[in-house]
A and B are shown apart, each in its own frame.
Chain A
Amino acid sequence: GNSVTQMEGPVTLSEEAFLTINCTYTATGYPSLFWYVQYPGEGLQLLLKATKADDKGSNKGFEATYRKETTSFHLEKGSVQVSDSAVYFCALNTGGTSYGKLTFGQGTILTVHP
């Protein structure tokens, strides 16, 4: 079956530090890969996505590259801000465009201090 493994958290950084959150996956077929973010008291929001190997998703300064050879989709940001403090979830689906269930990792709590 499908599964997603994220690096253990929580992650605590100072403002302007470099961020990496590791994500690896196991999937049948050719999954699409996502990063979702959950701010306190809010619903999950799509941060970025990639639909095929070597695609790079990017949004709000965050980036992740779909690496089929290493089955990874690591999230990076060059300079984090306090407002980036949230829970980050790596996810995949194999159901096609906007369809099918998402399989999530366990989430990584990010706290950024001024």
Chain B
Amino acid sequence: DTGVSQDPRHKITKRGQNVTFRCDPISEHNRLYWYRQTLGQGPEFLTYFQNEAQLEKSRLLSDRFSAERPKGSFSTLEIQRTEQGDSAMYLCASSSYRTPNYGYTFGSGTRLTVV
């Protein structure tokens, strides 16, 4: 297993367009998390899944944002009608109750630039 993979690494889009990001977690991890990181700030929690169920959503996740994890494996994060304020690094992480001692594994992120 090569860890948590995110695709694409970079995305430049025009304001108003829709974008979709993908995250492939470590295969045996049942929990998957999305975070957003803006320049000079720490990651902020957006949402997380246990298997295919979305268990918590942050109030940061406006109606334009939607996340899915259809079969409890990979996850997608879609942003509709992008705004310049959506420009950020979007991080995915996964974990498992079997992972000893708080093992969250992060991907390298997708950097979104809205122009």
Tell me if B109 and A43 are in contact (CB < 8 A): yes
Q: Which interface class (under 10, 10 to 19, 20 to 34, 35 or more) fits A?
A: 20 to 34
Stretch at the interface among A12-20, A60-68, A73-81, A97-105: A97-105
Q: Does B85 contact A (CB under 8 A)?
A: no
CB proximity of A48 to chain B, nearest CB, Å? 11
A99-B33 contact in complex given A41-B108, A107-B41, C-beta closer than 8 Å: no
Q: Which of chain A's residues have a CB closer than 8 A to the CB of B91?
A: 43-44
Q: Which of chain B's residues have a CB closer than 8 A to the CB of A93?
A: 102
7 smallest CB-CB distances across A and B, nearest first, come from A104-B42, A43-B106, A44-B106, A101-B45, A98-B95, A43-B108, A98-B99
Chain B residues in contact with chain A, CB under 8 A?
3-4, 31, 33, 35, 40-45, 48, 56, 58, 91, 93, 95-97, 99, 101-109
Apart from the given pairs A98-B95, A98-B99, A101-B56, 13 other A-B contacts in the complex at a CB distance below 8 Å? A4-B42, A43-B109, A44-B106, A46-B102, A49-B102, A97-B101, A98-B31, A98-B104, A101-B33, A102-B104, A103-B45, A104-B44, A106-B41
